[in-house]
Chain A
Amino acid sequence: MKLEQMYQEIILDHYRHPHRSGLREPFDAESYQINPTCGDEVTLRVALDGDRVADVSYDAIGCSISQAATSVLTDLVVGRTVAESATTMDAFMEMVQSRGKVEPDEKVLEDAVAFAGVSQYPSRVKCALLGWMAFKDAVGRAEAGSSNNGAQRTEAQ
């Protein structure tokens, strides 16, 4: 059965006990993303400290795959640089969109390799990516904000 391959224990654990959930202050940018086919939504905040991701907080309504993927995301990016996070995101996207054809790199993806089974179900790929889309968008906004409001940010530091 493919079902257990997709719903690995690690995914169900994150779903039942999500890491870093809830919206927190301070943050540099926020993104709201929605999956129009099922109505799932996530509001995700990013706080940057220089080029590092200091915190990711979120409020989400969604299926186990989207909830768990967002929870795992926070484990993978908080404390890392924005550039490292982007590499991880690219690897994650490549894996879940591969229809099972890409062997995931556990060194890069860590717990997120559990989502390899999702790539067998094209209709669930969007679920796995919802939080990542929000993260990508929020980081983009935070970086744009920091260059626009450089003086202010320097002052705050």
Chain B
Amino acid sequence: MTGQLTTGQLNASELEKIRADFPILSRTVRDSRPLVYLDSGATSQRPRQVLDAERAFLEQHNAAVHRGAHQLAEEATDAYESARARIAAFVGAEPDEVVFTKNATEAINLVAYALSNSAVAGGAAERFALAPGDEIVITEMEHHANLVPWQELCRRTGAVLRWYQVTDDGRLDLDSLELSERTKVVAFTHQSNVMGTVPPVAELVRRARAVGALTVLDACQSVPHTPVDFAALDVDFAAFSGHKMLGPSGVGVLYGRRELLEALPPFLTGGSMIEIVKMEGSTYAPPPQRFEAGVPMTSQAVGLGAAVDYLSAIGMERVAAHEYALTEQALTGLSEIDGVRIIGPSDCVDRGGAVSFMIGDVHAHDAGQVLDDLGIAVRASHHCAWPLHRRFGIAASVRASFAVYNTPAEIDALLAGVQEVRRFFRVPA
């Protein structure tokens, strides 16, 4: 994701071997066209190793975790907790700092609701309570999942939402906002899901710390594509989804600094997350169990553990180097096509593999339709970042997003597809 990562790329035979692990990549679509899957930013495909891990768990070890004393219950709990430990290690966290959620959206909502629950929780949680006039700061490039939960938190508490603006070339404008003593939360993406932009995390964390604000990192688009170490980034909370990192849907992760999770009240309540329950009231388990109410997803957590093993076996530095090369190829190729406008940085500095663009005045839906007809799967919408699109004066864009299994030939197919869109809709040169 940075300009230095150009070594250690995957060679052609390694790439071929990786692709062979993903059964879906060998299918055809739309009149026998080979699938060119460039929508991993929405959801990634899963290798056999992940599918096998889920199936093996369900066929051999399935039981409700953290309850029951029978052998299957023990095995299921071990598999679930082993997955947690490996996922934690993958992102520079301790196991008890990793909370399993349904997805990243739920993880961010968990933080937002736990913060507003702090107002009535008493004890150590009181320091998290927000008051009218407090500020929550986000950025203009956020996915709706890191925007709407904060709007709602403001509505519940009387806090005020403010945001860093985005420059014309898709970078964060750090001069557009000053944090203040009233700033309680600074939430931002680790990589824009539209533009690929990687904001200056260290600087944002430094500014937040200086005013005593909590930091929340949306790491959905970074964890699948580059080495990430939450402890080294020094963020307070972070969220990511399993299905964007070769893992199953229905499982996501909230990372929280241990002392913060220990002090926060729960979001969802019920079974599993309790310490003592009496008719008059209850006390709650330590984290991470406090934030995992009910019987959790199990085969999905096990599958995500397998996905982390799979990525680790390749090596995240090499994953990043490979995707960097694909991104550079796409940006160079697109910038050479008349009428193409890239939304976001047109160079590879501090930028990941999500490339959004417009082709003349062809609507993204229409462009996506022509690409789909060629077997090329891209996203054509506002990509759940509507305010960002509005900032660039457009309703929607075409987004190609890459993963470890994509090839240079697929980027060539995309570029040829863009030419076909121009021809079909008669975009002037």
Binding site for B on A (CB under 8 A): 1-3, 6-7, 37-41, 61-65, 121, 124, 127
Q: Is B231 an interface residue (CB 8 A)?
A: no
B373: chain A residues within 8 A (beta carbon):
1-3
8 A Cβ contacts from B378-393 to A: 380-382, 386, 389
Q: Is B257 an interface residue (CB 8 A)?
A: no
Cβ-defined partner of A39 (8 Å) among B30, B369, B382, B424: B382
Query: Please, which residue of chain B has its CB at the minimum distance from the CB of A12?
Result: B425
A41 near B370 with CB under 8 A, answer no
Distance in Å: Cβ of A74 to nearest Cβ of chain B: 20
Distance in Å: Cβ of A105 to nearest Cβ of chain B: 26
A124: chain B residues within 8 A (beta carbon):
365, 369
Given contacts A3-B369, A6-B369, 14 further A-B contacts (CB under 8 A): A1-B373, A2-B30, A3-B370, A3-B373, A39-B382, A40-B363, A40-B395, A41-B395, A62-B363, A63-B363, A64-B363, A65-B365, A124-B369, A127-B365
Q: Is B78 an interface residue (CB 8 A)?
A: no
Q: Is B412 an interface residue (CB 8 A)?
A: no
| Chain A-chain B contacts (Cβ-Cβ < 8 Å), number | 50
Cβ-defined partner of B380 (8 Å) among A38, A61, A64: A38
- Can you pick out 14 interface pairs between chain A and chain B where the beta carbons lie within 8 Å of each other? A3-B373, A37-B381, A38-B365, A38-B380, A39-B389, A40-B395, A41-B395, A61-B395, A62-B363, A63-B364, A65-B365, A65-B366, A121-B369, A124-B365
Q: What is the interface of chain A mostly: helix, strand, loop, or mixed?
A: mixed
Query: Please, which residue of chain A has its CB at the minimum distance from the CB of B396?
Result: A38
Query: Please, which residue of chain B has its CB at the minimum distance from the CB of A127?
Result: B365
- Complex interface bits, B10-42 against A, C-beta within 8 A gives 1, otherwise 0: 000000000000000000001100000000000
B424 near A7 with CB under 8 A, answer yes
> CA of A3 to CA of B31 in the docked complex: distance in angstroms?
11
Cβ-defined partner of B395 (8 Å) among A1, A2, A7, A62: A62
- Complex interface bits, B344-374 against A, C-beta within 8 A gives 1, otherwise 0: 0000000000000000000111100110010
- Complex interface bits, B391-422 against A, C-beta within 8 A gives 1, otherwise 0: 00001100000000000000000000000000
> CA of A40 to CA of B373 in the docked complex: distance in angstroms?
22
Cβ-defined partner of A38 (8 Å) among B30, B370, B382, B425: B382
Q: Which of A37, A38, A65 has the most CB atoms of chain B within a 10 A radius of its CB?
A: A38
Query: Please, which residue of chain A has its CB at the minimum distance from the CB of B380?
Result: A38
> CA of A137 to CA of B251 in the docked complex: distance in angstroms?
40
B395: chain A residues within 8 A (beta carbon):
38-41, 61-62
User: Interface residues of B, CB < 8 Å — how many?
Assistant: 18
> CA of A121 to CA of B365 in the docked complex: distance in angstroms?
12
B380: chain A residues within 8 A (beta carbon):
38
> CA of A25 to CA of B172 in the docked complex: distance in angstroms?
43
> CA of A139 to CA of B370 in the docked complex: distance in angstroms?
35
6 residue pairs, one from A and one from B, having the closest CB atoms: A63-B363, A63-B365, A39-B395, A3-B373, A38-B396, A39-B382
Cβ-defined partner of B381 (8 Å) among A38, A41, A61, A62: A38
B370: chain A residues within 8 A (beta carbon):
3
8 A Cβ contacts from B315-367 to A: 363-366
Query: Please, which residue of chain B has its CB at the minimum distance from the CB of A61?
Result: B395
> CA of A1 to CA of B373 in the docked complex: distance in angstroms?
8
B386: chain A residues within 8 A (beta carbon):
39
Distance in Å: Cβ of A59 to nearest Cβ of chain B: 13
A37: chain B residues within 8 A (beta carbon):
381
> CA of A33 to CA of B84 in the docked complex: distance in angstroms?
45
Distance in Å: Cβ of A95 to nearest Cβ of chain B: 19
> CA of A124 to CA of B366 in the docked complex: distance in angstroms?
10
Distance in Å: Cβ of B394 to nearest Cβ of chain A: 8
A41: chain B residues within 8 A (beta carbon):
395
A2: chain B residues within 8 A (beta carbon):
30-31, 373
> CA of A130 to CA of B389 in the docked complex: distance in angstroms?
20
Cβ-defined partner of A1 (8 Å) among B31, B366, B389, B396: B31
> CA of A145 to CA of B88 in the docked complex: distance in angstroms?
61
Distance in Å: Cβ of B187 to nearest Cβ of chain A: 23
Distance in Å: Cβ of B6 to nearest Cβ of chain A: 36
> CA of A6 to CA of B382 in the docked complex: distance in angstroms?
23
> CA of A107 to CA of B373 in the docked complex: distance in angstroms?
31
A39 near B381 with CB under 8 A, answer yes
> CA of A134 to CA of B181 in the docked complex: distance in angstroms?
47
Tell whether A38 pairs with B364 under 8 Å between CB atoms, given A1-B31, A2-B30, A61-B395: yes
- Complex interface bits, B153-196 against A, C-beta within 8 A gives 1, otherwise 0: 00000000000000000000000000000000000000000000
B424: chain A residues within 8 A (beta carbon):
3, 7
B396: chain A residues within 8 A (beta carbon):
38-40
Distance in Å: Cβ of A52 to nearest Cβ of chain B: 33
Query: Please, which residue of chain A has its CB at the minimum distance from the CB of B384?
Result: A37
Query: Please, which residue of chain B has its CB at the minimum distance from the CB of A3?
Result: B373
B363: chain A residues within 8 A (beta carbon):
40, 62-64
> CA of A127 to CA of B366 in the docked complex: distance in angstroms?
11
Query: Please, which residue of chain A has its CB at the minimum distance from the CB of B365?
Result: A63
